[in-house]
Structure 1
Amino acid sequence: MKTFGKIGIGLAAVCLSAQAFAADVTIRLAHLNPEDPFASHSGAMAAVFKSLVESNSNGAIEVQLFPNGQLGKDNEVIEQVRSGIVESTISSSGGMAQHYPLVGVFDIPFAFPNIGVASRVISKDSAFGEKFVADLEGATELKVLGLIDSGGFFAFTNSKKPITSVADMEGLRIRTMTLPTHEAIVSSLGGQPTPLPWAEVYTALQTGVADGQMNPVPIIAFAKFDEVQKYLSVTNHIITPYIWTMNAEFYNGLSDEHKTLVNWASEVATEAGRSMSRVIEASEKGLPALSAKMEVNVVPPAEQAKFAEAAQPAVRKLIEDQYGAAGIAMLDALLASISEENTY
């Protein structure tokens, strides 16, 4: 197993060693986002999981939550889970990409026709989800507890101008996750990709290191990007997964009763997170709140088609060049699953 983020792992070990564990079993669950279950899907997932596991184990299992990236950068926390320092994490595709690069297959622009299809496909129980999860588990030796979208379709924000066409992307420095596929999307549209870890994004936008970024509306809202960005352009160009994992050795060491509890509690918690994203999108916490401080525009379908025409070939070529036959096979399986689930 490769070792990443030794400093982050060391700091986490010091932090965690100070905890006093009264229960028979302790599950430390980390994620990047706010702890408030009404502010983010991972906050909701963590809160529901903690409540269900602790109450239904009669206190035999304690779930300790570490939100807001307390234990380090996303990829570092995944390494902590792989190493057994932390039991579980809910992570972005950007963090997972450094451990399992094939997560980039989700980044074919405009592949998902709507959020209903996306919800059915981006699930560990879908036909594609089962294939994806089995491959990820084999490559990382992690146990996957949940697969969920990152909060909805991505929009662009920036501090320079509205994005109404591909031409408006020219020269904009857009922060991306540390995902080659995201960098390819921005480059193919004429922008300048600026890959940065999540913890650095707000400051980068505030100081002008990056002109803009791309994320789902709920993430833009809770990250308060409206404080440092003037324009929000609804493009709906991609939708990416968050992946909930657990140290496999820890999971396998649980009693059968506790495994069953973890399995169904994580399933219920994942659905709670999925629902919370839709609630945030539809409520005053979503676009209405952002519209009060930002200039919002929706890119019409005819222009979206031009975005797709520019970006899709670039991302497919990158997947083929970097990940070879395995990458194309996984991508084609994803596209086939989207087609099968598009029954509306």
Structure 2
Amino acid sequence: MSLLKYASAALIGACLATGATAADITLRLAHLNPDDPFASHSGAMAAVFASLVESNSNGRIEVQVFPNGQLGKDNEVIDQVRSGLVESTISSSGGIAQHYPLVGVFDIPFAFPNIGVASKVIDTDSSFGEAFVADLEDKTGLEVLGLLDSGGFFAFTSGKAPITSVEDMEGQRIRTMTLPTHETMVSSLGGQPTPLPWAEVYTALQTGVADGQMNPVPIIAFAKFDEVQKYLSVTNHLITPYIWTMNAEFLDGLSAEDQYLIRWAADVATDAGRAMSRVIEASDRGLPALAEKMEVNVVTPEEQARFAEAAQPAVRALIEDSYGAEGMALLDAMLASIEEERGNF
């Protein structure tokens, strides 16, 4: 281990040791977002999970929550979970992609027709979700505790100009996650992709390193992007997963009773997180609050079709070129699951 890595590990270890109690088992759970359960879905998930685990174990298991990316960038925390330095994390697709690139199959623009279909497909209990989770676990060695959407459909924000049509994307520097699929999508629409880790986004928008970005409304709200962006364009072009993982050795080392408790609490907490996203979207914490400070426009169905026509072939070609037959099979399985659920709505 290099001196830098050793120092980083020591610093993380010192941070994790802070506040340790006499509980028999300590479970450290990290996530990117605010701790307030009413501000973000992962905040709600962490709060519900900690409460259920600690109360139902009579305090034998203590859950220490590290919100707001306290332990590092998303992909770095996943490294910590894989190595056993941290027990669990709730991650964005951007973080997961550096460990499991096939998460990019979710990035076909306008694949999901509505939030109902998305909620059914992006779930560990769906036929696609089961296959996706099994493959992720096999390739990473992680245990998946939960799978849900990242807070709703993506919208674009910009400090430069509103996005009402494909032509409005021309030349705009749009921050993306470090995902080739997202970069390709923005490029195909005429924008300039600017991949940056989450911790750098606000400053990049504030200083003009990026003109705009794309995220679900609840994330735009809690990140306070209304302070550094003037325009919000409701495009509903993407919906991506958040994936809750745990160190497999840690979970396997628990008693059967405690394993059941952990999985049950995670199931309930994931449902709570999914519901909290819908609450934020439907309340004055979501779009109404942003509309007080930003100019909001809704992209018409006709323009959405033009966005899809421009972006879908490029992203599909990237998935085929990058991930081959395996990637296309997983993509086709997702699209089939979407069509199956579409018939129920």
TM-score by length of 1: 0.97
Q: Secondary structure at the match of 2:123?
A: coil
- Cα distance in 1 for residues equivalent to 2:223 and 2:160: 19
Relative to structure 1, the CA distance from residue 40 to residue 294 in structure 2 (aligned partners, 3 Å threshold; closer, same or farther) is same
> Where do residues 69-80 of structure 1 align in structure 2 (5 Å cutoff)?
69-80=69-80
> What's 1:51 paired with?
51
> What's 1:117 paired with?
117
> What's 1:341 paired with?
341
Q: Secondary structure at the match of 2:254?
A: coil
> Where do residues 259-338 of structure 1 align in structure 2 (5 Å cutoff)?
259-338=259-338
What percentage of residue pairs aligned between the two structures are identical? 80
Q: CA deviation at 1:284?
A: 0.2
2:75 partner amino acid: N
> What's 2:208 paired with?
208
2:83 partner amino acid: S
Q: Secondary structure at the match of 2:190?
A: coil
Q: CA deviation at 1:15?
A: 1.4
Q: CA deviation at 1:16?
A: 1.5
1:9/1:77 contact within 8 Å kept: no
After superposing on structure 2, the runs of 4+ consecutive aligned residues of structure 1 that deviate more than 4 Å are 5-10
Q: CA deviation at 1:332?
A: 0.5
Q: Secondary structure at the match of 1:28?
A: strand
> What's 1:226 paired with?
226
Relative to structure 1, the CA distance from residue 77 to residue 297 in structure 2 (aligned partners, 3 Å threshold; closer, same or farther) is same
> What's 1:23 paired with?
23
Q: Deviations over 1:251-278 (max 9, x none)?
A: 0001000001001100000000000000
> What's 2:95 paired with?
95
Q: CA deviation at 1:6?
A: 7.1
**1:192 and 2:192 equivalent?**
yes
Q: Secondary structure at the match of 2:138?
A: helix
CA RMSD of aligned residues (A): 1.0
- Cα distance in 2 for residues equivalent to 1:267 and 1:225: 31
- Cα distance in 2 for residues equivalent to 1:146 and 1:174: 29
- Cα distance in 2 for residues equivalent to 1:147 and 1:13: 28
1:125 partner amino acid: D
Q: Secondary structure at the match of 1:242?
A: strand
> Where do residues 242-253 of structure 1 align in structure 2 (5 Å cutoff)?
242-253=242-253
The number of aligned residues is: 340
- Cα distance in 2 for residues equivalent to 1:249 and 1:260: 15
Q: CA deviation at 1:17?
A: 3.3
> What's 2:154 paired with?
154
1:152/1:239 contact within 8 Å kept: yes
**1:84 and 2:84 equivalent?**
yes
Query: 5+ residue gaps in structure 1?
Result: none
> What's 2:179 paired with?
179
Q: Secondary structure at the match of 1:246?
A: strand
Relative to structure 1, the CA distance from residue 330 to residue 10 in structure 2 (aligned partners, 3 Å threshold; closer, same or farther) is farther
Query: 5+ residue gaps in structure 2?
Result: none
